[in-house]
Structures are given as C-alpha cells and as structure tokens.
Amino acid sequence: MKTLPSSDVRNYFKMKYKTAVALVLLGLIVSSEALRILVCYPMTSKSHSILGHGVVNRLLEAGHEVTHITSFPRGTVLQNLREVNVSHIAKAFEQDKSSKEEFSLKNMLGKGNFAESVIFLYYVFIIHKNFLEDQNVVKLFSDPNEKFDAVILEWFFTEMNSGIPVLFDCPLIWVCSTEPHWHAFRIMDGITNPAYTLDLFTHHTLPLTFWQRAEGLYKIVKKNLQLLVFYQLEKWIYNSYYPEIAAKRGVTMPPYDDAVYNGSLMFLNAHPSIGGAMKLPQNTVNIAGYHIDKAKPLPQDLQKLMDEAKDGVIYFSMGSILQSDGMSEQMKRSLLDMFGKYKQTVIWKFESDLDDVPANVHLLKWAPQTSILAHPNLKLFITHGGQLSTAEAIHYGVPLVGMPVMADQILNMKTMAAKGFGIYITLAEDMYSDLDTAIRKVLDDKTYAEKAKELSALFHDRDMSPGKAIPYWVEYIVRNRGAPHLRSQALNVPLYQKLYLDLAVVLTIIIVLITKAVKFILVWRSKKQKEKSS
C-alpha cells in the first residue's frame, strides 16, 4: 500500500478541520436565522424615543432585522434597520404655542401631578390616534407583502395599538417604560393589591398608613371609571381603523377585548434596585438599563473640564420635556448665584443662553449625559427624577438630589430618598435654601455615595444583562409561538369572580333564607305555645 508523505497527511487533516468548522458555523447561522421585528414607539418625547432606540439597538446587535416607527429617526443608514418617520406628530405639538407654554417649568409648579388628570389620558389618546392615522404608518400596515415575526409596542396608558400584531399574525410584546404598576399589569395578570403596591403617581412610599391605603384604593376606583370612558373611545378607533387595513391583508380582526389581552410578554423598564421588589407574572421581565450603551468619549473640551475639576463636578439636568430654560427668570438667576458659591465645577444642561454666568458654571445646550455620569470626577447629579436618569445614575453609582415635577418622577425620587442614595426636595420658586442644604449634605456625607455604589452593584448583578435579555425573550416568544404557557390564568377570570361577588351573593341568600327559616320556626313555636296555653 502506498504511503502518503507526512506533509500530505497534515494538509488532508487541515482540510477536514476547515470543512468541519465551516459546517458548524453554517449550522449556527441557520439556527440563528434573523427575525423580522416591528418596533413601535408612538410617544413624541425624546426620553421615550431613547428607550425605543435602545430596544432597536439590542435587536440589531443580535442580528435581527428591525422596522422602527419613531418620531426621532436617526438620520443615518444602518444595516438591517428601516425607520418609519412619524415626527410630524411631535411637530404638531411644538407648533402649538399655548400647549408648549402650558408645559413650561414655571407653569407646572404648584399645579399638582398632571399625569393624574383626565387631560393626560386625552393627551395620550390623541398622540396614539395621530400615530395610527399617519400616512407612512397606514402604508406600511396596508402592504400585504409586509411580514413580521413579532411586534414590540410601547405600552403607555393605552392599548389602542393592540390591533397591530393581529394585522401581521404574530405575537405581541409590550414594553412598559416605567416602574411596574397596576394600570399596566391589568392587561397581563390583573390589578395589583393597593395595600402593598404603589400607584405610579403616588407621593407615598411603603409601608402605607391606613389613610394612604384608602387613598390608593380610591385612586384605582377613580382611574378605572375614567378608563371606562376612554375604553369606549379606543374601541371606536379600533373598530373604525383596523378592519379596512385587515381586509387588504386578508385578516379578520378579533374583538377589541381579545386584542387588548393578547400580549405574550411585557418588558418592564424596572429593577428592584431602583424601585423595589414586587410580585411579577411569568410573562413579565425586568430590563431597566437596557438603553444604556457603553459610555462614549466626551467632547475634548468637556473631557478637559471634568478632568481638571480638582474639587469634582456637579451635573444638573431637568430632562428633555420640562427643560431648564422654561424656568422663571428669578429661578434661573437664583440658581446661578447659588452654584457660583460652590468650589465644585457645575455643568448645567441649559437649552438657551444666559448672561453673567459664574466662572465655575458651564452651560450645555446638549449634554452627553451617560458619558458625564461615567466620569470618575462626577460627585453629584441634580435631576428631575425621570426613569431614564434614575436608572443611569444607579448604573454608574452616582448620588442624587431630586427635584421632581410630575408623573412617576415624584415616586422615583421618594424611593431614591428612602433607599438612602440621595435627597428629595420640592421644586418651587423659594427652594434655594433647601436645595443648597441638600447639595452640601450629599457632597459632605459619604454615605450617599457609598449607598449609590452599593445599589449600582445590585443593579449589575443579574443572571442576564438587560441588553441580552431583550433578544433572548423575543426569540423565545417567537420560537414558542407566543408562549401561551406563560400567560396568567387570572386574565380568564371575570372581575366578579376575582372579587368573590358570586360567593357573596350565595352567602347572602343562604343567610337570608336561614334568617327567615329561624323567624318562621320561632313564630310557629310561639303560636303553638299560645294555642296550648289557651
């Protein structure tokens, strides 16, 4: 038998090895075939768009194809990404000068929590209605050639979009942009017990007093009465909007009730280190922090400024909705005078220009917030308490001073104070003494910074990072055809049964019958005794 030279033997096995590796890689490619996913974020605020882009980024990183409907398109071309621009919705609100003035910081002070009003629900309703009626959206939904494996919808106090996944005959995945609360949970499991779970817009923290529990129950009853009205409006939109598009796609729309409760999964922009621990249904997943990308390098001038701040840096931002330049002139000047007395460098996200700015104060019309928070020289973050800012502060272990204005900001900052990594103060024209005291206390008392680092460690200590959890669970839902085994059976139980009203009726009838029987027997015995005595 002819013997091959050793070099030929080596080449032979090298070729076999390369072939085997190629086959394995090919198998991996086939097994991880890209999904086509539709992501819808109708809300017109910048903060909501950041969350939407975060979902899209994580899906793109996992190799999936994404169509993203957003009011804030990137304006750049990315592989596997198609954007549908609905920015005209936001522009319509920006052009409404009266609406813009109404939402300025100086007009929001002392007016209570706007998010608790009926006007808030109407505002959300109009945005989602305009979203569905957008020509680009209608064109996309009406095209019978458009196919998706899953639809991801931001849940924000309406289920009007729940008909979208039906059009594409694919699973529905909600993303709740806030801490979990009863309003969102009611479509995944049921209304949570107000004795130990907080309303998103409450001013209280656990444990609740007797009157606070009574207030929480009252708010749920009140809000549900309001929802009955908006339910009819949303049902009207559903029945007038979807059937025509469904007919073009050869789809039959189910009743509105069925579509609303058809969610396979709900992502929660939450984590126990931020808000707290609460009971979650099997089909809900905490993913707070998923929007946070690796901190990018600071602009050269800002990097130099923070590096050379020998006494550290204070960063101040009121977010993207209620901006700092919406403050009254007195508030702006008082803050500048206060900041000018600090030895620390102050970076203030301020959207316009100001005169006579102290030397240690630097105004930025746009601030790379996560990169600032990541800098080791940052000592304190003064914030309005939005969910994104709170999560980013915990992510980087930065202590806070919170000045909330509305919505969930109040609860976020109350919780932050209760956890011990910051101080809550009331935003007002005469707040400067309280604000100055809070800032100096957080800077001087190292326990706040230590607690921030401790919570940051808890925030990062997970079995799966939030960025990886998104594609994992989306793939899981698609792979298991909507994962109906995860759905809560509570959705199938009528309200009267949950409240045991049927049992109450039966017990009432039994008690009434027993009472009547006892009375009858007593009367009968009394008559018998009278007959005997006579």
- Rounded-to-integer distance, Cα 224 and Cα 65, Å: 38
Q: Could you tell me if 41 and 125 lie in one domain?
A: yes
Of the two residues 95 and 301, the one the predictor is more confident about is 301
The pLDDT of residue 217: 87
Q: Could you tell me if 120 and 223 lie in one domain?
A: yes
Q: Could you tell me if 503 and 368 lie in one domain?
A: no
Mean pLDDT of 438-460: 95
Q: Could you tell me if 448 and 310 lie in one domain?
A: yes
Q: Could you tell me if 60 and 136 lie in one domain?
A: yes
Q: Which of 107-116, 470-479, 523-532: highest mean pLDDT?
A: 470-479
Find the length of the chain.
534
Mean pLDDT of 281-285: 93
In a domain, 45, yes or no: yes
Q: Could you tell me if 219 and 306 lie in one domain?
A: no
The pLDDT of residue 338: 92
Q: Could you tell me if 106 and 143 lie in one domain?
A: yes
- Rounded-to-integer distance, Cα 209 and Cα 194, Å: 12
Considering the chain, what is the average pLDDT of its residues? 86
Angle, in degrees to the nearest 10, between helices 329-339 and 432-444: 30
Mean pLDDT of 309-313: 93
The pLDDT of residue 115: 65
pLDDT category, 104, cuts 50, 70, 90?
low
pLDDT of 512 over the 90 cut: yes
pLDDT one-digit tens code per residue, 141-197:
999 999 999 999 999 999 999 999 999 999 999 999 888 888 888 899 988 888 888
In a domain, 10, yes or no: no
Count of domains for the chain: 3
pLDDT of 110 over the 90 cut: no
Q: Could you tell me if 324 and 431 lie in one domain?
A: yes
Mean pLDDT of 212-217: 87
- Rounded-to-integer distance, Cα 310 and Cα 136, Å: 52
In a domain, 384, yes or no: yes
In a domain, 27, yes or no: no
In a domain, 69, yes or no: yes
**Looking at residue 177, which CATH number applies to its domain?**
3.40.50.2000
pLDDT of 497 over the 90 cut: no
Is the bond preceding 207 in cis, omega lying within 30 degrees of 0? yes
Mean pLDDT of 118-137: 91
The pLDDT of residue 53: 95
The model carries a pTM of 0.85
Q: 514: buried, middle or exposed (CB in 10 Å: 19+, 13-18, 0-12)?
A: exposed
Mean pLDDT of 344-349: 93
Q: Could you tell me if 261 and 207 lie in one domain?
A: yes
Of the two residues 152 and 199, the one the predictor is more confident about is 152
In a domain, 516, yes or no: yes
Q: Could you tell me if 403 and 476 lie in one domain?
A: no
Q: Could you tell me if 162 and 218 lie in one domain?
A: yes
pLDDT one-digit tens code per residue, 19-61:
444 444 444 443 458 999 999 999 988 888 999 999 999 999 9
pLDDT of 3 over the 50 cut: no
pLDDT category, 198, cuts 50, 70, 90?
confident
Q: Could you tell me if 118 and 172 lie in one domain?
A: yes
CB within 8 Å of 143: residues ≥ 6 apart: none
pLDDT one-digit tens code per residue, 389-402:
999 999 999 999 99
pLDDT of 5 over the 80 cut: no
In a domain, 529, yes or no: no
Q: CB count, 10 Å around CB of 46? A: 14
Q: Which of 11-25, 298-312, 403-417: highest mean pLDDT?
A: 298-312
In a domain, 339, yes or no: yes
**What is the extent of the structural domain holding 188?**
33-288+466-492
The pLDDT of residue 205: 80
